[in-house]
Amino acid sequence: MNDKPKTAVLPEKGLGKKTVLKQLDSFASHDPDYKKSRTWSLVYYLGDEHKDFLMAAYEKFFSANGLNPTVFQSLKKLETEVVQMTAALLHGDSHTVGMMTSGGTESCLLAVKTYRDMGRSERGIRKPEMVIPETAHVAWEKGAEYFGVKPVRAPLGKDFRVDTKAVEKLVSRRTVMILGSAPEYPHGIIDPIEELGHIGLQKKVPVHVDACVGGYILPFMEKMGIPLPLWDYRVPGVTSISADTHKYGFAAKGASTLTYRSVDILKHQLFVYENWPGGIFASPGILGTRPGGAYSAAWAALMSTGMDGYGELTRITMETTQKLKAGIQSIPELEIIGNPESSLFAYRSVDKNVSIYAVGDQMEERGWQIDRLQFPEALHAMVTPGHAKIVGKYLSDLRESVARVKADPELAMKGGAAMYGMIANIPLRGMVKKNVLKMFAGMYGPDAKMIDPSDGGMNAEEGEPEEKQDLATRLAMKYIRWKQRKK
Ligand SMILES: Cc1ncc(COP(=O)(O)O)c(C=O)c1O
């Protein structure tokens, strides 16, 4: 007897293209409704007209491969121009260089590799470290793990910006780079880049600014007259910046930029292997094959939108952000975390009877895709122009959700709230990692099991009662209940 779920097999005879396209449509029917702006991350969508334009631009270089930049010269031209336009926005000069990557994560990973190799070759550092704010995007942790660089996490100040005094102390002879974000993902706050740049210059350590989110919105906010601290190449110690065209550049997915103050830094990123039977192999980034379409779509997005277009998109985004923030601040049980300058922010509960994760569950029941944060527990929003039309609905749903949770605080112990609460509260973080790895292995294992947050326990097997959950899970549930009562 085989009770395994049905396994996909390559059809003996290929299906008709029409049938296949229909099937694809049906698969998407349960996905979040990003076209109606129900998502708050993951998708930067400006409507079908813009999407069709990006697809047309993508299609022109659909099969072209940027692996070897000497072959498809068209792609090298597109890449160079995207880099140059970006460098100008970031106040680079004629020495600023860079490349296009497949996304923010590749840009971050490459910067780690570059500075590791630069530290080794210029300063003889064998056991490299990098000082990163606690709020650094996980891509930096990934880079640290992949490239064997020890992440030294700098704490935040009360304003949720990295504490520069702590950074100064944490920089050692082994530090190959310092990181600041503009802004960081969790709370949307810009780190004090000028101070980090100063530390970098003093200690002769390069400073990378992660502007994957901010790269194509902060410059336009500044042009609108919104006061912002300096965070780009105008800060003398800043040596490189990552900025994603596939976020606020509104390009097709699979496109980011990584620029450096000079080619003397970039050269540490390049990879060459001269003894391969397949020929001499030179590659600028992590990928081998590089998708030409993603680069042509990024170029097309920048050229067609222009300074005026991005200015207008930024104006709409920031007006929407202000309305949302004001609406949330007017709900007495909630508060915005810190003072986020741009288009993303986090909010938390200040009422002991209102679990913010339960509010998240309620919002999801009302059709919103909600991102949860931990340390502190909060909900997240990354605003795009499409959200302008749903501000009122989001805020009325949020008010309703808060009232519903306040009326029934036990909702904190149910569904997704219980699971996220437990994950955020288990003191032994190694157990969290072990359990999440287990869930992931399940998703990618032979049964390809989907994670269902509403099962109320990340360790529970399907149908497993709470009593059978492991010790860590049970302890965490007890801890949450105790914390809830204590508040
Ligand atoms: C600050 C920051 N850096 C890096 C990344 C990683 O970008 P990607 O998801 O494109 O790999 C993100 C993603 O949200 C981010 O917010």
125-154 pLDDT, tens per residue? Answer: 999 999 999 999 999 999 999 999 999 999
| Tokens linked to 30 | 């349960």
**Higher-pLDDT residue of 422, 73:** 73
Whole-number Å distance between alpha carbons of 135 and 437:
22
Q: Whose CA is nearest to atom 10 of ligand 1?
A: 104
Mean pLDDT across the stretch 201-219?
98
Amino acid 323: pLDDT: 98
Helix (H, G, I), strand (E, B) or coil at 111: helix
Task: Using the atom order of ligand 1, give the atom closest to the CA of residue 183.
Answer: 1
Amino acid 456: pLDDT: 45
C-alpha 259 – ligand 1 centre gap (Å): 16
**Higher-pLDDT residue of 463, 431:** 431
Whole-number Å distance between alpha carbons of 42 and 44:
7
Amino acid 471: pLDDT: 63
Q: Residues near ligand 1 with C-beta < 6 Å?
A: 103-105, 108, 137, 139, 181, 184-185, 210, 212-213, 244
Q: Where are the domains of the chain?
A: 59-303, 415-486
Q: Whose CA is nearest to atom 9 of ligand 1?
A: 104
C-alpha 476 – ligand 1 centre gap (Å): 30
Amino acid 457: pLDDT: 45
Amino acid 450: pLDDT: 76
Q: What is the mean pLDDT of the chain?
A: 92
Q: What torsion do the CA atoms of 363, 357, 182, 121 make, to the nearest 10 degrees?
A: -130
The CATH architecture one would assign to domain 59-303 is 3-Layer(aba) Sandwich (3.40)
pLDDT beyond 50 at 460: no
Mean pLDDT across the stretch 67-75?
93
Whole-number Å distance between alpha carbons of 62 and 57:
9
Q: State the amino acid at position 410 in one-letter form.
A: E
Whole-number Å distance between alpha carbons of 369 and 361:
9
The DSSP call for residue 204 is: T
Whole-number Å distance between alpha carbons of 432 and 430:
5
Query: 343: how many CB neighbours lie within 10 A of its CB?
Result: 26
Q: What is the DSSP string of 309-368?
A: HHHHHHHHHHHHHHHHHHHHHTSTTEEE-S---SSEEEEEE-STT--HHHHHHHHHHTT-
pLDDT beyond 90 at 434: no
pLDDT tens, residue by residue, 306-342:
999 999 999 999 999 999 999 999 999 999 999 999 9
Phi and psi for 379 in degrees, rounded to 5?
Answer: -110, 160
Give the percent of the chain with pLDDT over 90.
82
| Tokens linked to 16 | 């008709």
Q: Whose CA is nearest to atom 7 of ligand 1?
A: 104
